[in-house]
Structure 1
């Protein structure tokens, strides 16, 4: 539900289907849905591919009920996604077109978003079919698009949805709030952390002078890994970038943070093709000591988010065990990087 509105009773499956059909009729006009297919890959919001009577293919995304367990920054994610795609599109970046967004409220049990469908397949699904030249060209194009997106300046730093309460007039304050929110989530979900909470909470203070080097709240997707990049080709022709999807984790802040979301497990700043594309739009991108300190901080933050979200997502089995071990190693690795850079 939106802030300040009263909760509405959750309808049963039949009523929910009727409400969805009514909303889509209002948005789609004479076109009707002839087929709907669940899309995999989403970990918070659900998504369906809708095939219409007029030949169009659209994506309907629906948020979970407000009562579902979630991290603090996950409030209003579809509102963030709608905002991201609308303003990123103005830069010339390839993103889905926002057709309709409706926040939760009276008569609307859950936030929902209707988007155009990007033809193709996700990069991770096509990985084995890409040659080295394909990959180099795609990474350059992705770097260009992300640099264009980063030219957008937001009204404040941090997550844009007021319900999250994680924005501020400067980057050190906003990042401190973001980091401490996920630490509070860890306490709420009883997640053991790889380092003491107080020590982790103090990182933005310890390196506040480096965070203060960020002077403009740039738009950052922060989740542009290969599963959220769509690529396509015609017959045996070259692969091209169809676009970037799932902008729900976006925030306004340090554009360097994009490098962390691009490769959560590695170091995107070591990708020469990606940086060449980025610098073709923004030649001033630098990777000095201050930049590397901030990258390490953002890697600590992302590893903690991935560690804590495993509880409300109810991960289990080997995946949960691997994530637990990886996130602990990643945090400790980046704390060592910070120590070395500080020295």
Structure 2
């Protein structure tokens, strides 16, 4: 499976300029630079004649193979940024969102540009004190985001059809959807599908205590956190980007999205920042069981998406191994907690 050929630089620049004029009126785009790092949507950094810098994100066409929940992701991102901004969290400003339609084969989103560098790019320049302060700030920011309450549980875009009036039902639908995607794309799983599909029912008593559909970014790893460096060499959070994977659900799921390869709940600085806003956050048996369920869910997404996106080489090999080990590990955690 191969992706469709990307438009040439002249065409891409002209299209970007046309979209900016559609959103903002008679402005001039003097430079349009493609950005790397995204695995689903494409992004370009735009420089306007008046000195402003903007980000234009474009989704794949609606006919491109995708997972069930990957419907209207840029609409989700626009919603996330608007809701998160109202809490005081630093996020890009939404300038325009254009859904896919008869005259728009792929949805697009125009955002303000957050100046700085991503955390993962700056990692080697951070001191332990920098990292501790930044983790506290990130925990506080995400706790504020989680104060937003959605209208229902699950993914907000109607096209995905993955919402429900309670969290156990929504999470069951979300998990079953990615398992159905695995079957659709012939992805081999490291555990029987029936066993994985039955996890929400088996552990439903741990999901039931979630009584409010909180806004969850679910992808706030260091590549989606922007930092700036002050004149005194201290680092500060510039903002949170790429809210396209957001949903309404258990705020505890944010800890899983923070560090796909780690355990954020064991980070004292991050937890101190989070509890400065939400001091009632607890990590009892029910919470640990839910974290294990969400880790399995995220590992399944990462494993299954490799098929429609046609990952290859060492990254594909690593992802296959890591996701299998992660799912097996977290199933064991659930067994231990149940035992």
If the length of structure 1 is used for normalisation, what is the TM-score? 0.95
Which residue is equivalent to 2:217? 221
Distance in structure 2 (CA, Å) of the matches to 1:34 and 1:15: 14
Structure 2 residue 76 is the aligned partner of structure 1 residue 60: no
Deviations 1:114-171 (A, max 9, x none): 0000010000000000000000000000001000000000000000000001000000
Q: Helix, strand or coil for the counterpart of 1:49?
A: strand
For 1:276, which of 255, 272, 290 is the aligned residue? 272
Which residue is equivalent to 2:162? 166
Distance in structure 1 (CA, Å) of the matches to 2:140 and 2:14: 43
For 1:142, which of 118, 138, 151 is the aligned residue? 138
Deviation at 1:30, TM superposition (A): 3.2
Which residue is equivalent to 1:7? none
Which sections of structure 1, spanning at least 5 residues, go unmatched?
1-11
Deviates further, 103-112 or 21-30:
21-30
Distance in structure 2 (CA, Å) of the matches to 1:128 and 1:237: 14
For 1:286, which of 282, 289, 307 is the aligned residue? 282
| Aligned length in residues | 334
User: Where in structure 1 do 4 or more consecutive aligned residues deviate above 4 Å?
Assistant: 12-20
Structure 2 residue 322 is the aligned partner of structure 1 residue 322: no
Deviation at 1:18, TM superposition (A): 5.1
For 2:19, which of 13, 19, 23 is the aligned residue? 23
Deviation at 1:74, TM superposition (A): 0.4
Distance in structure 2 (CA, Å) of the matches to 1:298 and 1:193: 16
Q: Where do residues 1-343 of structure 1 align in structure 2 (5 Å cutoff)? A: 20-343=16-339
Deviation at 1:26, TM superposition (A): 2.6
Q: Helix, strand or coil for the counterpart of 1:313?
A: coil
Check the 8 A contact 2:32/2:45 in 1, yes or no: yes
Distance in structure 2 (CA, Å) of the matches to 1:207 and 1:279: 26
Which sections of structure 2, spanning at least 5 residues, go unmatched?
1-6
Deviation at 1:319, TM superposition (A): 1.0
Q: Please provide the CA RMSD for this pair.
A: 1.6
Deviates further, 318-327 or 228-237:
228-237
Q: Helix, strand or coil for the counterpart of 1:51?
A: strand
Deviation at 1:313, TM superposition (A): 1.3
Distance in structure 1 (CA, Å) of the matches to 2:13 and 2:181: 33
Distance in structure 2 (CA, Å) of the matches to 1:243 and 1:150: 16
Deviation at 1:41, TM superposition (A): 1.0
Q: Helix, strand or coil for the counterpart of 2:276?
A: helix
